[in-house]
Amino acid sequence: DLLKKLGVAYQRAKFFIRCEDSPKFQKELSSSFIRQQILTQGSSKYVQQLSPQLSLGF
């Protein structure tokens, strides 16, 4: 009810609301840890892709 009074949409706000007793959010994440997680799980969009076209090496 308080969120409605403030004019906050719950569907968007639920991603930012956190409870202190939630085990997932008890520890703050450092920027280096977040960066490491992104780099290990991500893949580059510049990965060479196999092409069915013939490449002429001049």
Strand ranges inside 1-58, DSSP E: none
- The four Cα atoms 46, 41, 12, 19 give a dihedral, to 10 degrees, of -160
Q: What are the pLDDT digits (tens) for 3-16?
A: 777 777 777 776 67
Q: Given pLDDT bands bounded at 50, 70 and 90, which one contains residue 41? A: confident
Q: What is the pTM of this model?
A: 0.31
**Chain centre distance of CA 23:** 19
**Chain centre distance of CA 51:** 30
Separation of alpha carbons 23 and 21, rounded Å: 6
